[in-house]
Structure 1
Amino acid sequence: MSKTLLIYRLGSIGDTVVALPCFHAIARAFPRDRRIALTNIPVSGATSSLAEVLGGSGLIHGELAYPVGTRSPMALLRLRREILATGADRMVYLMPERSPLALRRDLLFLKTCGIDDAIGVSQETLRLRRLNERTGEVERECARLARSLTKLGPIDLGAPASWDLMLTPNEREIARKHLPEGPFLAINMGGKLASNDWGADKWTALLQMLSRRHPALGLVIVGGADDRERAECARLAWSGSTLNLCGKLSVRATAASLERAALFIGHDSGPMHLAAAVRVPLVALFGDNNPPKKWHPIGARQICLHDMCGVRRIAIDEVLASVEKLLLETVGSHCRVSRELCDLAAERSEHR
């Protein structure tokens, strides 16, 4: 490795996964560089860091802790010393939309750290999110990030390789040892924000319906340690085999376990983005926390149900219809799927 390249990206699992195509593009553009992520570690006690998502992938070779929100001169001086010690003179700017003042402040500080070249900030029109005035939908975050890196060449968001987490054989073996032998449905009921919560009552009703319709399917619940108690309650609604993996696996082993699922259902959360990255069919539930499309995944066999009046406004039958539609497409015609449910799912997906 000849030089060091900084990659400035804050956030947790979802923020990291939507930037995966960019991390792959950076690795292609700078294959010999030592790529160091400048990121917040940890994000919070209940969430996971960028390093937990990409560590071991080869897309980054290390990380520096960025003290989010600090105004402490001592903390900033310490960070400056750490950046200077890397010898980096260029960086890739993968931050969310920033005000001109905040952007200038970032670049000024990084300039004092020896960073002369900041890739991804040169053209404001490329860096800012686009709005479809006809539909009111905003551009997906992954698309905005990819446009900001046009200097590195085209980034194909539709290519499965762009979303490759580079899971290792060992991570897949860990997942295999934890998982049941037969087919299973994976769910995640957690998330950082209460406004993204569909509600325990709706989850219970949905799981009861699905377990009656698909007795051959097991249920695997993934998430963090804070989700474990709630997951134990959800298991009672499933008549077949169940497994609570909340807090038991690393982020990357969780992704490897989702890779083996027949289908995933979950809130707007980190595990949902992991499921999208490993290309498992999924139903994702979105509320009013973010505008439509912004954090929607990209890929085939994905249904995003998004209600700007709140996630709890999404009907149980609507989720059930979407699940049944995907199961019919992916598992086969032996699934008990009513034509009415499939028609409902098709109608709703056209308007999402």
Structure 2
Amino acid sequence: MSPKRILIYRLGSLGDTVMALPAFHKIRQAYPDADITLLTNSPVANKAAPLASVLGEGYFFNRVLAYPVGTRNPAVLLGLVKQIRGLKIDTVVNLAGVRILKTLFKTKLTVFRDWLFFKAAGVKNTIGFPSVLADFELSVDKTTGDLEWEAKRLARRIQVLGHIALDDDSYWDLKFSNEEIKTAGEKLAPLAAGRPFIAASTGTKSQVNDWEEHNWLNLLKRLSPLLPGWQLVMVGGPDEFDQATRCIETWGGVGLNLCGQTSPRVSGVILKQAKVFIGHDSGPMHLAAAGGTPCAAVFSARHFPRQWYPRGNFNKIIYHKTDCAGCELDVCVVQQKKCILSVTTDEVIGAVMEILDPEKLNNINA
């Protein structure tokens, strides 16, 4: 008998959610009539969008339970156990990332503790809990020679539900509503009809991933003459509005500042209509890629290559693998961000122009 009441355990924000999209689709495909509860951190730290606000309502889940990340309060955890018991959850699908600790034993112990928690909540069946060595550590993908891609790791963990074709667009569909599509159209109304636009975002949650404003301004100043008649749309959070304004002023042509003006999902509809997205390793980058928009992405070497790359075969990733790669730092002081700040404007311009293809540009600009 198929499970009727499922709980999906996934923490994170915008980028983490997009990487898990194929897994969310597979769960709904496997259990089309199930009542699904999403257990996630809400609100997430800093300015990141909560996972539930990225997935939308009505398709991927029926309700949300807030997971108290980092709490040691027994009363809070007991309250969560009671909520799960009250929902009569029969199956948990674990999409959480593994917290890799100093020793393999401690990592496995943490996973076992999570499993015991759900068992204490009366859950009979569990899917997606780490079971092989590759689940408990950062593993090299034999196909690429780089770290295993996050979307592939999740697909492997829940392969009992069936194969996930990660190159199939349908697995990256955010199921935008008609209202969200209409709102996006209204937001884009000030642009000149029929003229293409570039989307960009200078925001990032981590200081180490920030390419810095002077580089962005230099990029846009030099890129604008290469794309006569093209328009620029800036997306991001409200705290990025002023910087986005300066970017549009530097662009010099038609521009639209939507920072803080749209929800993550409406931004996703907008990004889907752009010819190219330029930005950091960030949530908006993953959102653009999910919609099929190729990305020119400026990466730090905070992570090793490929683990958090955007989906799609037409992206251009600018990544400099320095001797300190894989540091996992949020703030880089000692090395002064030498990885990302060694990325040149010429490299990013080259990536954008290669994506857009000069021959096609001649037809568009004519």
Alignment pair present for 1:320 and 2:320 = no
| 2:278 maps to which of 259, 265, 274 | 265
Alignment pair present for 1:64 and 2:56 = no
Structure 1, unaligned stretches of length 5 or more? 337-352
CA-CA distance at 1:2 after TM superposition: 7.6
Partner of 1:9: 10
Over residues 54-80 of structure 1, what are the superposed CA-to-partner deviations in whole Å (9 max), with x where a residue is unaligned? 122611122100000000112111211
CA-CA distance at 1:205 after TM superposition: 0.7
Return the letter of the residue paired with 1:226.
D
Return the letter of the residue paired with 1:311.
I
CA separation in 1, counterparts of 2:173 and 2:283?
A: 16
CA separation in 2, counterparts of 1:122 and 1:193?
A: 28
CA separation in 1, counterparts of 2:159 and 2:141?
A: 21
Alignment pair present for 1:197 and 2:214 = no
CA-CA distance at 1:95 after TM superposition: 1.0
SS in structure 1 at match of 2:250: coil
Alignment pair present for 1:137 and 2:146 = yes
Return the letter of the residue paired with 1:172.
I
CA-CA distance at 1:199 after TM superposition: 1.1
CA separation in 2, counterparts of 1:330 and 1:127?
A: 45
Return the letter of the residue paired with 1:196.
N
Partner of 1:165: 174
| 2:228 maps to which of 211, 215, 227 | 215
Percentage of identical aligned residues: 39
Change (3 A) 1:153 1:41: same
Alignment pair present for 1:106 and 2:135 = no
Mean alpha-carbon deviation: is it higher for 260-269 or for 302-311? 302-311
CA separation in 2, counterparts of 1:294 and 1:153?
A: 22
Structure 2, unaligned stretches of length 5 or more? 100-106, 323-338
Change (3 A) 1:118 1:2: closer
Over residues 241-281 of structure 1, what are the superposed CA-to-partner deviations in whole Å (9 max), with x where a residue is unaligned? 11110111011000001011111001011000000000012
CA-CA distance at 1:235 after TM superposition: 1.7
Change (3 A) 1:57 1:16: farther
Partner of 1:284: 297
Check whether the contact 1:281–1:326 (CA below 8 A) recurs between aligned residues: yes
Aligned residues: 336
Equivalent positions of 1:1-352 (< 5 A) are: 3-56=4-57, 58-98=59-99, 99-121=107-129, 123-125=131-133, 127-128=135-136, 129-132=138-141, 137-179=146-188, 180=191, 181=193, 182-309=195-322, 310-328=339-357, 331-334=360-363
Over residues 184-233 of structure 1, what are the superposed CA-to-partner deviations in whole Å (9 max), with x where a residue is unaligned? 11001001101111111110011011111112111100001121122122
CA-CA distance at 1:135 after TM superposition: 7.2
CA-CA distance at 1:125 after TM superposition: 4.2
CA-CA distance at 1:334 after TM superposition: 4.1
Over residues 325-351 of structure 1, what are the superposed CA-to-partner deviations in whole Å (9 max), with x where a residue is unaligned? 111179533479xxxxxxxxxxxxxxx
Check whether the contact 2:286–2:311 (CA below 8 A) recurs between aligned residues: no
Return the letter of the residue paired with 1:14.
G
CA separation in 2, counterparts of 1:216 and 1:330?
A: 16
Over residues 110-157 of structure 1, what are the superposed CA-to-partner deviations in whole Å (9 max), with x where a residue is unaligned? 111111211012632463442157976201111111000110010110
Check whether the contact 1:121–1:148 (CA below 8 A) recurs between aligned residues: yes
CA separation in 2, counterparts of 1:230 and 1:323?
A: 21
Mean alpha-carbon deviation: is it higher for 152-161 or for 121-130? 121-130
Check whether the contact 1:216–1:240 (CA below 8 A) recurs between aligned residues: yes
**CA RMSD, Structure 1 to Structure 2 (Å):** 1.9
SS in structure 2 at match of 1:187: strand
CA separation in 2, counterparts of 1:188 and 1:79?
A: 37
Over residues 303-336 of structure 1, what are the superposed CA-to-partner deviations in whole Å (9 max), with x where a residue is unaligned? 1111233211111101100101111179533479
Check whether the contact 2:149–2:308 (CA below 8 A) recurs between aligned residues: yes
SS in structure 1 at match of 2:362: coil
CA separation in 1, counterparts of 2:31 and 2:145?
A: 37
Check whether the contact 1:285–1:304 (CA below 8 A) recurs between aligned residues: yes
CA separation in 2, counterparts of 1:245 and 1:331?
A: 27
